[in-house]
A and B are shown apart, each in its own frame.
Chain A
Amino acid sequence: MRETPPPERQLDRTLALGLLIILLLSAPVMIWWTSFDSPWYVPYLLWLAIIVFIAMIHRRHHDL
């Protein structure tokens, strides 16, 4: 069984995740994934990736 990371690390991960999402949704990165030849489902894939990250980080969380 995996050990639950200490609260400090869990909060750090949450903060890092928030920053990552903001980065992905920020203007310079957005230009890359909205480029003309991007398939229509790219935003959904990106969104799904974010959800997978959230699930990975929060699933092992205890109440903070």
Chain B
Amino acid sequence: MTYDLGLLFGAGFSYLVLLFLIAYAADSGKLSEKLIRHPMVYVFSLGVYATSWTYYGSVGFAQTQGYLFLTIYLGVTLAFALSPLLLQPILRLTQEYQLTSLADLFAFRYRSQLAGILVTLFMLLGTLPYIALQIRAVTDSMTVVSQSVAPRSLALIFCSTLVVFAILFGARHSTSREKHRGLVAAIAFESLVKLLALLIIGITALVGVFGGLDGLDQWLRAHPEAIERLYQPVREGPWATLLLLAFAAAFLLPRQFHMLFTENFEPKALRTASWAFPLFLLLINLPIPLILWAGESLQLKVHPDYFVLGLSLEVGPSWLPILAFIGGVSSASAMMIITTLALSSMTLNHILLPTNFPDPQVNLYRWLLLGRRLLIALIIMAGYGFYVLLEKHQGLVQLGLISFVAVVQFLPGIVGLLYWRRANRLGLILGLLAGIAIWSATLLLPLLESSGFIRTEFDIPALRLASGMDQWEFATFWSLTANTLLFVFGSLVGKQSRGEQEAASACCSESMIPLGGMVNAGSSAQFTKQLAQMLGGEAAEREVKQALSDLSLSANETRPSQLRRLRERIERNLSGLLGPQLAHMIINRRLQLDIHTQTALADSMRFIEDQLEHSRSRLRGLSGDLDNLRRYHRQVLLDLPLGVCTIDKLRTVTIWNLAMEVMTGLRARDAVGVPLHRLPEPWGHLLAGFASATDEHIYHLEMSHENSTRWFNLHKAAIPGPMPVDHPVEEARTSQVMLMEDLTNLETLEAELAHSERLASIGRLAAGVAHEIGNPVTGIASLAQNLRHEEEPTLVKESIEEILTQTQRITAIVKTLMNFSRSGGIGTDIRRFSLKEVADEAIRLVKLTHHGRQVSCENLCPKELTLEGDRQGLSQVLVNILTNACDASSPGSAVELSACEIADCMRIEVIDQGEGISDENQGYIFEPFFTTKAPGEGTGLGLAMAYKIVSDHKGAISIDSKSGFGTKVIIDLPKASQLHHEPNINY
């Protein structure tokens, strides 16, 4: 059975049109989002690994190398089994830093444009034979099916169609940081097609040739050498070498890297892929021995590489060869499209852009899109050129393995990237150069020589034979050994730049270096202006807007720490657009850092905490325990019912706990990273002033906020840090921790208690007041009655004068009571007053009490003594102490109130001759609600209130008493008031 070339071309072309439709449906939203994001779509898209080498070449490989052909898939299984150690860290890096290819990853980690160029060139060199292999597989398959030589023009048309597809669905966006949903869906479909095609051909082989499993068993029993031919090479061949090559190829081949990391929508899908992708590979390889044996059994006339087609022509239904051919086209086209996209991205970022960066006047995005599309066309056509030039005697597997040995050269670099912080660019470049040189000498030159392009004097085959190694073993062993040794040697000898150290820290997640320096540009508008000089106005504006949106920042952002983050974000976004090295260079040039400005501690803390959050699940052992401890301490600090605010040397807020949020109404996210003086008022003024003040404590700071009065205690302490020896000025500027205590509720409660105590005192005075007022009222009544009958003007006048005197006496009593009972907080009426007057007033009040009247109270205060303070408060102190003295004194005894000056203090003493206070009670008498009086006679607040008022005046109150010998209460008060409405701070 043969098929017309035109029919095959039509079938292949129709299949590619179907791919267009699938990709279009996915891109335009006609395929459900759930389906496209399904992990199995991702798994099938990884099936791009199975190229025409797998589809056609595996049978030929199995025929010559037995089960060695499985190593190409078992190596991948091993790589996916180690996914948490290998693939997931790379996925994290590529997504976090927007790295779109292996060259990007190396250029980012080793901060070397040369590394990017080397990787790109080597990838191009190593992959072009592989692309040529795909084209050859398609044309050869046409030849096999049609039994006529396929003209090269068909290959050219095939390549041109792929160029159009790759451009339409793989280069839709100017930047490779965007995902291509249509492309992923189409590639997943291609994998499904080739899997089904191979399975159907396998079943056809089993049923059509052997008549089922029993027939196969019988045939195998009749041909035991068939199984031995599969096992024999495993015991003798380069099993380990091929496993290693496949292990590296699983994620380092450009198409694998692209589908695994660059086009990954859902990081969790990698978890499913770790088992589902090896299962896909197992299924696709299951029919290979059956097809081989069926081909041998039928003694097919085609090369074993094309048994898949020969068998379908021989025993299958008429549609089977077309399906088999479509499966081959599917394998080849998927590989070519994805490899080309990956290589075009590398070439653009690492070769074209660094050498021909567009003028700022040119639209950058359009330029990049055009460049990417042009490169896609160039790379596919270069593959076509390679196909035309290559001699045909090379098997499919040979061409593929040459690429595998090429990519394994990146293995030392990738291991160093993930797990060796000291690895550096010198080691990488030396190792790669050695690896490339040996690869070229052992594999590429013999290939070119056998194709007749060049003639060399090297006798590599003789050397290989002398070593007793297989071709692949020889090339892999020597190239990888030289590469690894030089990589290690160069890394040990060379020094890392600061940029390289930072990148190494980012790659090895266990270490963290925060962002250093401050951006010179002071706003996002200045960012745009600076970037426009290289990127052009439109691109600069778009990139800054994008970064602001990514970080949820406003365009008016001016906080230095946030601008530093913005700079970092723009660099990452540009990395996805232009490659990491170029992005780094542009950012360094246009958005310069002042590296002499120390990094705000807030930034460092935020950075480290972000990193810790991100890597929490990766912290193990001691690191994990320390992180748990850190979280506990941080939570304690955040939940502390006391406002905690820490500032760094630059006076920038580093910690702002929940209590601070409640007290100030300022959210931590708005306060952290902001210099103190730029916090909203009144907090900025208050805290910045306190931070500069020499006082470490401010008590009872009263301030008006939002139409209410609030009281605070402020405390601060320095947090010493390492200081530069040659910068003594800096010593004054250390980090500080500030505690803020909201006293408003306490103050209100105290004021209420004080008022209650006064009212209670008035209650106790009520009887005395009634008596004191009663006497003059009686006198006034008698005088008034006498006046009715008095006609003598002189006597009338005298009576009236007497009435007025009595009235004034009543007024004085009422006024004293009114003053005493007036509500108000302590410290609201500060003035200088005569101590004797206040003492007289207090004695008058005390005399109104029952005990007060029975005791002789003597005021011995000198007239000239004055005191500054809260007059009402001190009056209450004296009333409370005198009341206690009178209550403790027996009737007829005396209570003396005296005062004298001692240095800067005024000492007031109240001495009674009462029963005294026992030693046991002396320790409690200033505590609230402690009383020795009978229930209902005292509240227990009198002396506590006196203690509070005296303490507020920065004074001291003490007791000198002995049971049975009276009591002396000593009050020391500073002459000048220590009560303040405003904090004593230097603004």
The interface of chain A, by Cβ under 8 A from chain B, is 7-8, 10-11, 14-15, 17-18, 21-22, 25, 27, 30-31, 34-36, 38-40, 43-44, 47-48, 50-55, 58-59, 61-64
- Which residues on the A side are within 8 Å of B74 (C-beta)? 25, 47
Binds A, one of B615-623, B738-746, B824-832: B615-623
- Which residues on the B side are within 8 Å of A17 (C-beta)? 81-82
A55 to B43, CA, bound (A): 14
Task: Assess whether A58 is in contact with B77, with CB atoms less than 8 Å apart.
Answer: no
Question: When A25-B243, A34-B67, A38-B231 are in contact, do A63 and B80 touch as well, CB less than 8 Å?
Answer: no
Additional 17 contacts, C-beta under 8 A, given A38-B231, A43-B67, A52-B275: A7-B619, A7-B624, A8-B621, A14-B81, A15-B82, A18-B82, A18-B85, A25-B78, A25-B243, A27-B239, A30-B234, A40-B289, A48-B282, A51-B77, A59-B275, A62-B617, A63-B271
A48 to B617, CA, bound (A): 30
Partner of B80, one of A31, A40, A52, A54: A54
Question: When A25-B243, A40-B230 are in contact, do A47 and B621 touch as well, CB less than 8 Å?
Answer: no
Partner of B274, one of A10, A40, A54: A54
A21 to B618, CA, bound (A): 24
Partner of A7, one of B67, B234, B617: B617
Partner of B620, one of A11, A15, A22, A31: A11
Question: When A18-B81, A43-B70, A54-B81 are in contact, do A61 and B271 touch as well, CB less than 8 Å?
Answer: yes
Question: When A8-B621, A30-B234, A31-B235 are in contact, do A51 and B268 touch as well, CB less than 8 Å?
Answer: no
Question: When A25-B243, A30-B235, A58-B274 are in contact, do A40 and B618 touch as well, CB less than 8 Å?
Answer: no
Closest chain B residue to A55, Cβ basis: B275
Q: How far is the CB of B221 from chain A (nearest CB, A)?
A: 11
Task: Assess whether A63 is in contact with B268, with CB atoms less than 8 Å apart.
Answer: yes
Task: Assess whether A54 is in contact with B278, with CB atoms less than 8 Å apart.
Answer: yes
Check: B88 CB closer than 8 A to any chain A CB.
Answer: yes
Partner of B234, one of A21, A34, A51, A63: A34
Task: Assess whether A64 is in contact with B88, with CB atoms less than 8 Å apart.
Answer: yes
The interface of chain B, by Cβ under 8 A from chain A, is 67, 70, 73-74, 77-78, 80-85, 88, 220, 227-228, 230-231, 234-235, 239-240, 243, 267-268, 271, 274-275, 278-279, 282, 285-286, 289, 617-621, 624
Question: When A14-B84, A64-B617 are in contact, do A47 and B70 touch as well, CB less than 8 Å?
Answer: yes
Task: Assess whether A21 is in contact with B88, with CB atoms less than 8 Å apart.
Answer: no
Closest chain A residue to B67, Cβ basis: A43
- Which residues on the A side are within 8 Å of B83 (C-beta)? 14, 58
Most buried by A among B84, B267, B268, B617: B84
Q: How far is the CB of A17 from chain B (nearest CB, A)?
A: 5
Closest chain B residue to A9, Cβ basis: B620
Q: How far is the CB of B761 from chain A (nearest CB, A)?
A: 66
Instruction: List the 9 closest A-B pairs by CB distance, nearest first.
Output: A55-B275, A8-B620, A64-B84, A34-B231, A54-B275, A7-B617, A58-B274, A18-B82, A14-B84
A7 to B88, CA, bound (A): 13
A22 to B239, CA, bound (A): 12
A63 to B620, CA, bound (A): 14
A51 to B243, CA, bound (A): 16
- Which residues on the A side are within 8 Å of B274 (C-beta)? 54, 58
Q: How far is the CB of A10 from chain B (nearest CB, A)?
A: 7
Q: How far is the CB of B614 from chain A (nearest CB, A)?
A: 10
Task: Assess whether B77 is in contact with A50, with CB atoms less than 8 Å apart.
Answer: yes
- Which residues on the B side are within 8 Å of A14 (C-beta)? 81-85
A43 to B282, CA, bound (A): 10
Most buried by B among A11, A35, A36, A54: A54
Task: Assess whether A63 is in contact with B88, with CB atoms less than 8 Å apart.
Answer: yes
Q: List 9 A-B contacts (CB under 8 A).
A: A7-B619, A7-B624, A8-B621, A8-B624, A10-B84, A14-B81, A21-B78, A59-B275, A62-B617
A53 to B227, CA, bound (A): 27
A25 to B75, CA, bound (A): 10
- Which residues on the B side are within 8 Å of A10 (C-beta)? 84
Task: Assess whether A61 is in contact with B84, with CB atoms less than 8 Å apart.
Answer: yes
- Which residues on the A side are within 8 Å of B282 (C-beta)? 44, 47-48, 51
A61 to B83, CA, bound (A): 11
Question: When A7-B617, A7-B618, A22-B78 are in contact, do A51 and B275 touch as well, CB less than 8 Å?
Answer: yes
- Which residues on the B side are within 8 Å of A58 (C-beta)? 83-84, 271, 274-275
- Which residues on the B side are within 8 Å of A53 (C-beta)? 81
Closest chain A residue to B624, Cβ basis: A8
Partner of B271, one of A30, A35, A43, A59: A59
A47 to B275, CA, bound (A): 11
A53 to B80, CA, bound (A): 12
Question: When A50-B278, A61-B84, A64-B618 are in contact, do A21 and B77 touch as well, CB less than 8 Å?
Answer: yes
Q: How far is the CB of A41 from chain B (nearest CB, A)?
A: 8
- Which residues on the B side are within 8 Å of A22 (C-beta)? 78
A53 to B286, CA, bound (A): 19
- Which residues on the B side are within 8 Å of A8 (C-beta)? 620-621, 624
Question: When A8-B624, A59-B271 are in contact, do A50 and B81 touch as well, CB less than 8 Å?
Answer: yes
- Which residues on the B side are within 8 Å of A55 (C-beta)? 275
Task: Assess whether A34 is in contact with B275, with CB atoms less than 8 Å apart.
Answer: no
Question: When A10-B84, A63-B88, A64-B84 are in contact, do A47 and B278 touch as well, CB less than 8 Å?
Answer: yes
Task: Assess whether B77 is in contact with A47, with CB atoms less than 8 Å apart.
Answer: yes
Q: How far is the CB of A4 from chain B (nearest CB, A)?
A: 10
A44 to B273, CA, bound (A): 19
Q: How far is the CB of A63 from chain B (nearest CB, A)?
A: 6
A54 to B624, CA, bound (A): 26
Most buried by B among A21, A22, A48, A51: A51
Question: When A51-B77, A54-B274, A58-B274 are in contact, do A34 and B620 touch as well, CB less than 8 Å?
Answer: no
- Which residues on the A side are within 8 Å of B84 (C-beta)? 10-11, 14, 58, 61, 64
- Which residues on the B side are within 8 Å of A30 (C-beta)? 234-235, 239
- Which residues on the A side are within 8 Å of B621 (C-beta)? 8
Task: Assess whether A51 is in contact with B279, with CB atoms less than 8 Å apart.
Answer: yes
Q: How far is the CB of B689 from chain A (nearest CB, A)?
A: 47
A21 to B220, CA, bound (A): 29
A15 to B84, CA, bound (A): 9
A52 to B268, CA, bound (A): 19
- Which residues on the B side are within 8 Å of A40 (C-beta)? 220, 227, 230, 289
A35 to B621, CA, bound (A): 44
Closest chain A residue to B79, Cβ basis: A18
Closest chain A residue to B268, Cβ basis: A63
Q: How far is the CB of A46 from chain B (nearest CB, A)?
A: 9
Partner of B81, one of A21, A63, A64: A21
A22 to B793, CA, bound (A): 132
Partner of A51, one of B70, B278, B619: B278
Closest chain A residue to B231, Cβ basis: A34
Closest chain A residue to B282, Cβ basis: A47
Q: How far is the CB of B411 from chain A (nearest CB, A)?
A: 15
A15 to B220, CA, bound (A): 39
Task: Assess whether A36 is in contact with B231, with CB atoms less than 8 Å apart.
Answer: yes
